[in-house]
Every structure is written in structure tokens, then in C-alpha cells.
A and B are shown apart, each in its own frame.
Chain A
Amino acid sequence: MYYKMTLEDKVRVPPNRLGEDLEKVILDVLQEQLEGSITKEIGIYIAVTKVLNIGQGELIPGDGAIYYDVRFEALVLRLALQEVIEGQVVETTGFGAFVSLGPIDAMLHVSQISDDYISYDEKNARLICQESKRYIAVGDGIRARVVALSLNEREPRESKIGLTMRQSGLGTGRWLEEELEREKERGAAHGGA
């Protein structure tokens, strides 16, 4: 889920930027430092939006920079296990599909796509369900559940997020529409009887 958070941190303002507007410098430093980074407790930083409050600066021996206590507002994505999320397929391979969740990509393994047998159509870059003939292609919007979460704070790109679609209500937009249609037909048949 996405959160708009108010956070506090110490910010180092380098001396060569002292002549400029302090609020702007601090916002720059925070954006440079945090955007795209990951912490386990907070999540994935997407943007630092606003500086709310700048405390008194402090000088530390041996460093010409000034350290300010700053309260600021940031937009973060914090994923939780079992959370249902929506994303877009950005790449398909023989072992599954990569799904973009916005700031980070997640992995949807072939074994977690459907109860069907899945085969990979290399020419069209599609993963095809053998029985139902449904398929997943690059660009499809999907709804899936987070089942594995391994965030790497040092190397955000090395983080691994596993998804599943083997549950009712999960799948690509097209599957969900088909499912809804079927559901409606069944409902109508029951109503008539």
C-alpha cells in the first residue's frame, strides 16, 4: 500500500550550498539520498514531497557541513505479505513473468500463474494456459497477491518479491472480466430456475 508519511531525519547540508535557500537545499539532499532507496521498517521511498520543519543546525568536529534535524513528508510504498496488489507485466520468460509495481518489479513464477499447465510462447512473448487457452502478455494489467518478500536495503535492485495468482479474484484484467461474465450468467440461470 502507498503511504504519505511524516518522517524525521538528520540532514547534512554541504558548505558549498550554504548561500542557497535552505529549504530547497534540504529537499534536494533528501530527494537525492532517499528516493529509490529501501528500508525494512518504512518501505520503498518514491518521493520526498515537502520539508515541514527545519530544526537548529549543528556543527560536528572534523566536518564543515551543517547537520539539521528535519521533519519532512514522503511518499512510500510499503508492501506486506498477503497484500493484493495491481501491476503491469513488463517481461515474460520461460520461468514466469516480471510485474512492475511502480517503483519496483516483482516476480510471478509459472507455477503461481494458474492451476493449468503453462507453456511459454517465445515468438509472441506470451505465457499460455494449456487447458483454458488464457494467456499473459507483456503490457497486461494483473491483480496478484504478495507471497514472498525479501527486501535488500543495500541493493534495492536485488530485492525479490514473489507473487501468486492461483486464487479466485486474481489474474489479468481480461481473466477477471471473463470470470465476472461467467459469474453473471450463472447468476441469471439460477434466477430463472
Chain B
Amino acid sequence: MESYTRYERARIIGARALQLSMGAPLLINTVYTEPLEIALEEFEHGVIPITVKRK
């Protein structure tokens, strides 16, 4: 998996958590209920379909 800086990591997880909170479907099976926790777990599994465009 690509390595991200802590800023990129925060941006990706934040964006994904917002998507989840707005009703996006889950990409993993999880025991969590909080969007942020689910987003963190998805990030650990490397399944979040978000990439970073570096300038």
C-alpha cells in the first residue's frame, strides 16, 4: 500500500467518514457503528477508493 503523510491520512479518513455518515455503503464487515471508526478500519485494510493527487 502506498504510504501517506499524516495530513493525507487525516484527509482520506475524514472524507471517507463523511461519505459514510451521509449514507455511503460499507466496504468491510465491521463491529463499529461510528462513521469515523469504520473509516479508520477501512483505511487499515487499505480498501478506501480514494487516492491523493500530489502537485
Contact = CB atoms under 8 A, between A and B. Distances in A.
Interface of chain A: mostly helix, strand, loop or mixed = loop
A158 to B, nearest CB: 34
A64 B15 contact: yes
A64 B22 contact: yes
B15 A16 contact: no
Contacts of B25: 18-19
What size tier do the contact residues of chain A reach? under 10
Interface residues of B, number: 10
Interface in B1-55: 15, 18-25, 50
Interface of B: 15, 18-25, 50
Interface of A: 14-16, 18-19, 59, 63-65
Given A59-B15, A64-B15, A15 B50 contact: no
21 contacts: A14-B22, A14-B23, A15-B18, A15-B19, A15-B22, A15-B23, A15-B24, A16-B22, A16-B23, A16-B24, A18-B19, A18-B25, A19-B24, A59-B50, A63-B18, A64-B15, A64-B18, A64-B19, A64-B21, A64-B24, A65-B22
A16 B23 CA distance: 4
Given A19-B24, A64-B18, 17 more contacts: A14-B22, A15-B18, A15-B19, A15-B20, A15-B23, A16-B24, A18-B19, A18-B24, A18-B25, A19-B25, A59-B15, A59-B50, A63-B18, A64-B15, A64-B21, A64-B22, A64-B24
A112 to B, nearest CB: 53
